[in-house]
């Protein structure tokens, strides 16, 4: 993984904790949540406050997520909102944390100036050892406070103030007044600067989870279903379960719920560039595994190797080549249905709240597109990277470092913004074809 780390492709964008005061605040929060402290004097944390260095120190990458069900978090700064979420078990955890920080930015800015904010993303279940328990997850509640209990004290003070204002004899209650003064010393004036958190509870209808081999629970669509990599279909309740390897079933699910659209939107230079990039990526993946790549990453050398070893290229490469010929005006529109190996490489998530989850699913279905896998499904990318030969790693790290790392926003927007109306030719269904084998543009 060293190539990825030095290229900023792994553990990039983390929040650096180096000041002794921040380290001590982190340790107080860590002790509050887990009963442990770190001996490290500086380290990096992600969106949730998880540190890969501390995970290595503890030999426990789940030290803030025991059981992988109710993730704990430590906030030292609102700038953590810009950091990625590592060791993700549920896809909605990052969105919930970022929304929580955005909704409470002013309060968090004030609180983290003096203390760490620690808390937990509480699902409605405590364990997902039984796969069917995943279906009981409907909402996620954010429980958060400083290590000194500022929010709790503020709530208590607020209740005492209401009592003081409404009870006729409260002016003469010395005990009540003393409690209010003592709490106000710790919380400040909660009547002018309330110390409360907004939006503490979030819907969890749709999510990906790494548990039980990895699966997608999508319930907010007209035809809900579970899509799983490896799962016994009979133990997940009443929802239909589709295997990700069942290309027709997945294609039908995406079509029936209008969740996908073509990644190229018509002829032109943009479509040509996207298709050429995808073809190069598929060529690198196939040639590396066959031992046919040059030792040094170079575009011209890749073109020569692609020509010389065309028989080693996957069928998806040749299907995309036919689409490229059409996009360049050199050929007819090709028919690509769900049985074609290139089918899912021609799609991206449609606009809407499930766009990112669909892109994640498409990346998992077509992992040979390592750029899409890195952008949309990092945990799957890192697992595949670790298992691949060194030549593949060198080429992949170079490709991502030169073609993606320095322009992440532009690349993401060009590939996955998906806010344009497709302008693709209409192709009638071939007679006798089942509906589930429709192409993406029918």
Mark whether 316 and 343 lie in a shared domain: yes
Indicate whether 177 belongs to any domain.
Answer: no
Residues 264 and 284 in one domain: yes
Mean pLDDT of all residues belonging to the chain: 84
Q: Is 316 within the bounds of a domain?
A: yes
pLDDT above 90: percentage of residues in the chain: 50
Residues 6+ apart with CB under 8 A from 179: 160
d(CA 422, CA 425): 9
For residue 4, which phi and psi values (nearest 5 degrees)? -65, -40
> Regarding predicted confidence, which is higher, 66 or 124?
66
In a domain, 232, yes or no: yes
Please, which pLDDT band fits residue 438 given cuts at 50, 70 and 90?
very low
| Chain centre distance of CA 329 | 37
CA distances from 254 to 239, 344, 350, 355, 424 (A): 16, 11, 10, 11, 18
Q: Helix, strand or coil for residue 287?
A: helix
Q: Supply the pLDDT for residue 439.
A: 40
User: Do the bridges between strand 15-17 and strand 201-203 make them parallel or antiparallel, or are there none, so unpaired?
Assistant: unpaired
In a domain, 240, yes or no: yes
Whether 90 has a pLDDT exceeding 90, the answer reads yes
Residue 390 in domain: yes
Are residues 121 and 50 in contact, defined by beta-carbon separation less than 8 angstroms? no
CA-based end-to-end distance of the chain? 42
Q: What is the DSSP string of 142-160?
A: EEEEETT-HHHHHHHHHHH
133 within a domain of the structure (yes/no): yes
Tell me, yes or no, whether 336 and 264 share the same domain: yes
Give the pTM: 0.83
Range of the domain at 107: 2-150+194-203
Q: Using one digit for the tens of pLDDT, what is the confidence trace for 141-195?
A: 998 888 877 776 666 666 766 777 777 777 777 777 777 677 676 666 544 555 6
E strand segments, 278-365:
347-349
Above 80 in pLDDT, residue 248?
Answer: yes
Give 17's strand partners.
43
| pLDDT tens for each residue of 343-385 | 999 999 999 999 999 999 999 999 999 999 999 999 999 999 9
Residues 238 and 358 both lie in one domain: no
Q: Which of 245, 269, 304 is the last residue of a domain?
A: 245
Kindly state whether residue 170 falls inside one of the protein's structural domains: no
Query: Closest Cα partner for 416 from 352, 325, 348, 314?
Result: 348
Q: Are residues 240 and 301 in the same domain?
A: no
Give the DSSP per-residue string, 79-130: GGGGS---S-SBTHHHHHHHHHHHHTHHHHHHHTTTS-EEEEEE-S-S--SS
Confidence label for 234 from pLDDT (cuts 50, 70 and 90): low
Please tell me the total count of domains within the chain: 3
Whether residues 276 and 146 fall in one domain: no
Q: At 341, is the secondary structure helix, strand, or coil?
A: coil
Q: What is the C-alpha to C-alpha distance for residues 373 and 351, in angstroms, rounded to an integer?
A: 19
298 and 229 fall within a common domain: no
* Residues 48 and 77 grouped into a single domain: yes
Residue 389 above 50 pLDDT?
yes
Domain's final residue, options 219, 245, 271: 245
Instruction: Give the whole-angstrom CA distance, residue 376 versus residue 391.
Output: 23
pLDDT at 427: 38
Please return the burial class of 164, using the count of CB atoms within 10 Å of its CB with bins 0-12, 13-18 and 19+.
middle
How much is the pLDDT for 194?
A: 53
34, 62: one domain: yes
User: Is the pLDDT assigned to residue 431 strictly greater than 70?
Assistant: no
Burial class (CB in 10 A: 0-12, 13-18, 19+), 16: exposed
226 within 8 A of 215, measured Cβ to Cβ: yes
Burial 238-249 (b: 16+ CB within 10 A, else e): eeebbebeebbb
Same domain for 265 and 229, yes or no, is no
Query: Domain check: are 289 and 430 in the same one?
Result: yes
Q: Are 369 and 361 in contact (CB under 8 A)?
A: no
Residue 296 and residue 350 in one domain: yes
Q: How far apart, in whole angstroms, are the C-alpha atoms of residue 48 and residue 97?
A: 7
CA 392-277-328 angle, to 5 degrees, is: 145
Is residue 180 in a domain?
no
pLDDT in tens, 135-149: 888 899 998 888 877
Q: Distance between CA 229 and CA 212 in Å, rounded?
A: 9
């Amino acid at each position: 993984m060293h190539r990825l780390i030095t290229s900023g492709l792994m553990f990039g964008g983390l929040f650096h904790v180096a000041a002794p005061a921040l380290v001590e605040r982190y340790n107080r929060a860590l002790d509050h949540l887990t009963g442990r402290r770190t001996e490290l004097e500086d380290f990096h944390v992600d969106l949730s406050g998880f540190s890969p260095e501390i995970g290595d120190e503890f030999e426990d990458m789940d030290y803030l997520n025991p059981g992988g069900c109710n993730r704990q978090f430590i906030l030292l700064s609102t700038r953590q909102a810009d950091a990625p979420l590592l060791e993700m078990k549920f896809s909605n955890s990052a969105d919930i944390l970022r929304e929580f920080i955005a909704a409470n930015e002013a309060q968090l800015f004030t609180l983290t100036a003096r203390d760490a904010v620690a808390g937990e993303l509480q699902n409605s279940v405590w364990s997902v050892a039984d796969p069917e328990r995943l279906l009981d997850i409907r909402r996620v509640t954010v429980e958060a406070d400083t290590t000194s209990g500022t929010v709790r004290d503020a709530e208590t003070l607020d209740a005492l103030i209401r009592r003081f204002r409404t009870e006729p004899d409260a002016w003469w209650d010395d005990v009540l007044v003393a409690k209010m003064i003592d709490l106000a010393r710790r919380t400040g004036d909660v009547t002018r600067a309330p110390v409360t958190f907004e939006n503490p509870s979030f819907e969890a209808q749709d999510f990906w989870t790494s548990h039980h081999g990895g699966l997608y629970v999508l319930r907010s669509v007209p035809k809900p279903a579970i899509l799983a990599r490896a799962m016994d279909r009979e133990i997940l309740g009443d929802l239909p379960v589709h295997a990700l390897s069942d290309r027709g079933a997945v294609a039908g699910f995406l079509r029936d719920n209008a969740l996908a659209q073509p990644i190229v939107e018509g002829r032109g230079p943009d479509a040509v560039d996207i298709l050429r990039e995808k073809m190069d990526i598929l060529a690198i993946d196939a040639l590396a595994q066959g031992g046919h790549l040059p030792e040094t990453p170079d575009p011209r050398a890749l073109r020569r190797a692609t020509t010389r070893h065309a028989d080693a290229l996957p069928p998806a490469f040749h299907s995309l080549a036919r689409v490229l010929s059409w996009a360049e005006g050199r050929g007819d529109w090709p028919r690509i249905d769900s049985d074609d190996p290139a089918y899912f490489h021609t799609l991206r998530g449609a606009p809407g709240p499930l766009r990112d989850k669909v892109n994640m699913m498409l990346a998992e279905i077509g992992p040979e597109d390592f750029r899409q896998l890195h952008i949309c499904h990092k945990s799957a990318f890192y697992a595949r990277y670790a298992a691949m030969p060194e030549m593949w790693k060198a080429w992949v790290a170079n490709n991502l470092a030169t073609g993606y790392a320095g322009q992440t926003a532009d690349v993401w927007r060009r590939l996955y913004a998906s806010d344009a109306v497709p302008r693709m030719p209409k192709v009638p269904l071939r007679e006798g074809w089942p509906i589930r084998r429709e192409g993406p543009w029918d």
